[in-house]
Amino acid sequence: MDKKSWFLIISGLTVSVLLICGGLFALTAWVFSSVEGDSTFNFSDAVAIVHVEGVIVAGDPPPASPFGGGSSGTAYSGKIIKQLKKADEDSNVKAVILYVDSPGGSVYASEEIYRQIKKMSKPIIAAMGSMAASGGYYVSAPTQEIWASPSSLTCSIGVISQFLNFERFAEEYGVTAVTIKSGKFKDTGSPFREFNEEDKKLWQDIIDETYTEFVRIVAEGRKMKEEDVRKVADGRVCTGNQAKAMGLVDQLGYLPQAIERAAELGKIEGEPRIVEYADEPTIWEALGLSTAQRSPVAELQNIIHYHPGSPLMYLYVGP
């Protein structure tokens, strides 16, 4: 047998071993992820923790792969809503913590999460991590209580839309954009033309309407007058200490203290069991070989918080 044949045989065996090992690893991970958070195996009273971490966007994360990729740094509304529903339906879960560490994000996605929180039949409190600003505060507002550390960055109550303009850049490099449109506003926001005063007026009206709804949500959740909310809802970011002084946070503390409080609200005696819902990919997804990585364009969009199709943002855009 020649060297080439031996090489092909050895290569084939190596790939087969890797596939088998990877498959066993994926199967094990899938089984354990399915068990995690499943009260079938433990009937003690529990506090469920649902995470809202990263920029809030609409929809579900891409299929999980044990070989790379994933949705780190992104809070998908679809996933969060499913986990909230699961916690509400689990008879062993007596209270829920919404753990928020997010600068906010899509207005639409934040509203989706808000609506699910309003439907919850069990006690639910928000516990803020290092940041729960703008949309991060929006989803916290309807909970029964808001906990923040003294140094948590929060507030940033407001709405923002940002449009990139490449007109001068395009001219410098001889790039021409041809636009065929049905009305003067159809290309509003196009990066290839200037944002004029009429465009600004159009979008300012949209921003003002969305801002009014944000103020209403905060006033309703915090049991404050809307005029009092507007006094601090100028987009400013604030610390947990400052937010508590303004009536936007109930208690200062960290996740362990929030868990104790949630257990108290859920009437749990003794130390509560903690349930944290893991992603539950199908067996075929778990066995997938995809190593999907974001493209450079997607990475740039994430850095500048630019998400096509959702320019209306409850987002803190600071450092």
DSSP of 176-238, one letter per residue? ------SSTTTTTT-TTS---HHHHHHHHHHHHHHHHHHHHHHHHHHT--HHHHHHH-SS-EE
Q: Check residue 168 and give its pLDDT.
A: 80
Residue 30: predicted pLDDT: 43
- Phi, psi (degrees; rounded to nearest 5) at 262: -60, -40
Fold of 36-159+234-315: 2-enoyl-CoA Hydratase; Chain A, domain 1 (3.90.226)
* Mean pLDDT calculated for residue range 300-308: 49
Q: Are 109 and 80 in contact (CB under 8 A)?
A: no
**Tell me, what's the pLDDT at 163?**
84
| Cα 146 → chain centroid | 18
Q: Does residue 154 carry a pLDDT above 80?
A: yes
pLDDT digits over 6-40, tens only? 545 555 556 555 555 555 555 444 444 444 444 44
Residue 202's pLDDT is: 94
- In which residue are the tokens 């507007």 written? 230
**What is the average pLDDT value for the chain, to the nearest integer?**
83
Is residue 20 classed as helix, strand or coil in its secondary structure? helix
pLDDT at 190 over 70: yes
Residue 176: per-residue pLDDT: 82
Domain ranges of the chain: 36-159+234-315
pLDDT in tens, 104-138: 999 999 999 999 999 999 999 999 999 999 999 99
Q: Does pTM surpass 0.85?
A: no
Q: What is the residue-wise DSSP string for 117-159?
A: HHH--S-EEEEEEEEEETHHHHTTTTSSEEEE-TT-EEE--S-
Catalytic residues: 134, 186
Q: Which residues pair with 104 in a beta bridge?
A: 315
Q: Out of 169-173, 175-179, 286-290, 311-315, which region has the weakest mean confidence (pLDDT)?
A: 286-290
Mean pLDDT value across residues 175-200: 88
Q: Is the pLDDT assigned to residue 222 strictly greater than 60?
A: yes
Percent helix, strand, coil in the chain (nearest 5)?
A: 40, 20, 40
Whole-number pLDDT of residue 277: 83
Can you state the angle between helices 77-89 and 107-119, rounded to 10 degrees? 0
